Amino acid sequence: MNVTHLECALCGLRHEARVLLNLCRECGKPLLVRYDLEQAQRSLTKQSLVGRRADLWRYLEVLPVDKEEDIVSLGEGWTPLLHTRRLGDRLGLKELFIKDESQNPTQSFKARGMAAAVSMAKQLGAKKLAVPSAGNAAGALAAYAAQAGLECFIFMPRDTPCANVVECEQTGAHVTLMDGLITDCGAEVGRRKEAEGWFDVSTLKEPYRVEGKKTLGYELAEQLNWELPDVIVYPTGGGTGLIGMWKAFDEMEQMGWIGSKRPRMVTVQASGCAPIVRAFEQGKRFADEFPNAATTASGLRVPKAIGDFLILDALRDSGGAAVAVSDEELISATAEIGAAEGLFCAPEGAACLPAVRKLMETGQVKSTDRVVLFNTGAGVKYLESFDH
Domains and CATH numbers, the chain: 81-105+209-385 (3.40.50.1100)
Give, in degrees to the nearest 5, the angle at Cα 270 between 269 and 276. Answer: 40
Do 219 and 252 form a contact (C-beta atoms < 8 A)? Answer: no
Helical H segments across the chain, by residue range: 37-43, 85-91, 110-123, 136-148, 162-170, 182-196, 209-223, 240-254, 275-281, 308-317, 327-341, 347-350, 352-361
DSSP code of residue 48: G
**Range 107-142 burial, b when 16+ CB lie within 10 A, else e:** bbbbbbbbbbbbbbbbbbebebbbbbbbbbbbbbbb
CA gap 212, 141 in Å, rounded: 13
Do 205 and 23 form a contact (C-beta atoms < 8 A)? Answer: yes
Antiparallel, parallel or unpaired: β 3-8 and 14-15:
antiparallel
Is the CA virtual torsion 327, 329, 332, 334 positive or negative? negative
Helix axis angle for 209-223 and 110-123, nearest 10°, is 130
- Give residues with Cβ within 8 angstroms of 99, minimum separation 6: 79, 80, 81, 82, 216, 219, 220, 372, 373, 374, 375
**Range 295-323 burial, b when 16+ CB lie within 10 A, else e:** bbbbbbbbbbbbbbbbbbbbbeebebbbb
In the prediction, which pLDDT does 308 show? 98
In the prediction, which pLDDT does 134 show? 84
Give the SS3 label for residue 386.
coil
Do 289 and 183 form a contact (C-beta atoms < 8 A)? Answer: yes
In the prediction, which pLDDT does 388 show? 60
Instruction: Write down the pTM of the prediction.
Output: 0.96
CA gap 116, 179 in Å, rounded: 30
Name the stretches of the chain with pLDDT < 50. Answer: none
First to last CA, the chain: 50
In the prediction, which pLDDT does 193 show? 95
CA gap 54, 78 in Å, rounded: 6
- Strands, sheet with 31-35, edge to edge from the N-terminal-most edge strand: 14-15, 3-8, 31-35
In the prediction, which pLDDT does 1 show? 77
